[in-house]
Amino acid sequence: MKYLLDTHILLWSLLEPDRLSDAIRVELENHQNELWVSPISAWEMALLVENGRITIEAENPEKWIREMLTHAPVREAPLNLDVALASRQVDLTHQDPADRFIAATALVYDLVLLTADARLLNSGQIRTLE
């Protein structure tokens, strides 16, 4: 199966694995699955560090994010024209740009989104696992 990790799932998997649901943990540990991330997740992580919502031990958030993603068994789902256009068409009840880009990435690349975000889980358009 091919999965797209929502930003919080990516962070939890690396920093707080106990917060993951059993279903998501099983899928993340299955080496036959392909795990993908959006570059928007790196942007969101940088914002979380800048705003003090997460604390890291590194002085340089960019270096920390790059190292974390380099060591995680994930592939990058490129942000492209199709994703940008789909972000405006995705069936979400809110306008959060990060959620829209992540949902659109799941649609364009035909990935199942791993998330605990109710706003994304309630979209009838994207496939999700919580």
Average pLDDT over residues 17-29: 96
Q: How confident is the model at residue 122 (pLDDT cuts 50, 70, 90)?
A: confident
**Would strands 34-37 and 128-129 be described as parallel, antiparallel, or unpaired?**
unpaired
Confidence at residue 94, expressed as pLDDT on a 0 to 100 scale: 80
Tokens of 84: 């940008």
Write the CA distances from 77 to 30, 49, 121, integer angstroms: 20, 22, 20
Q: Are 3 and 34 in contact (CB under 8 A)?
A: yes
Tokens of 25: 């943990």
Confidence at residue 36, expressed as pLDDT on a 0 to 100 scale: 98
β-bridge partners, 76: 37
Q: Which residue has the tokens 């942007």?
A: 43
CATH of residue 77's domain is: 3.40.50.1010
Number of domains in the chain: 1
As a whole number of angstroms, the distance between CA 100 and CA 37 comes to 14
Which residue range forms the structural domain that includes residue 107?
2-129
pLDDT digit string, tens, across residues 39-79: 999 999 999 999 999 888 878 889 989 998 888 899 999 99
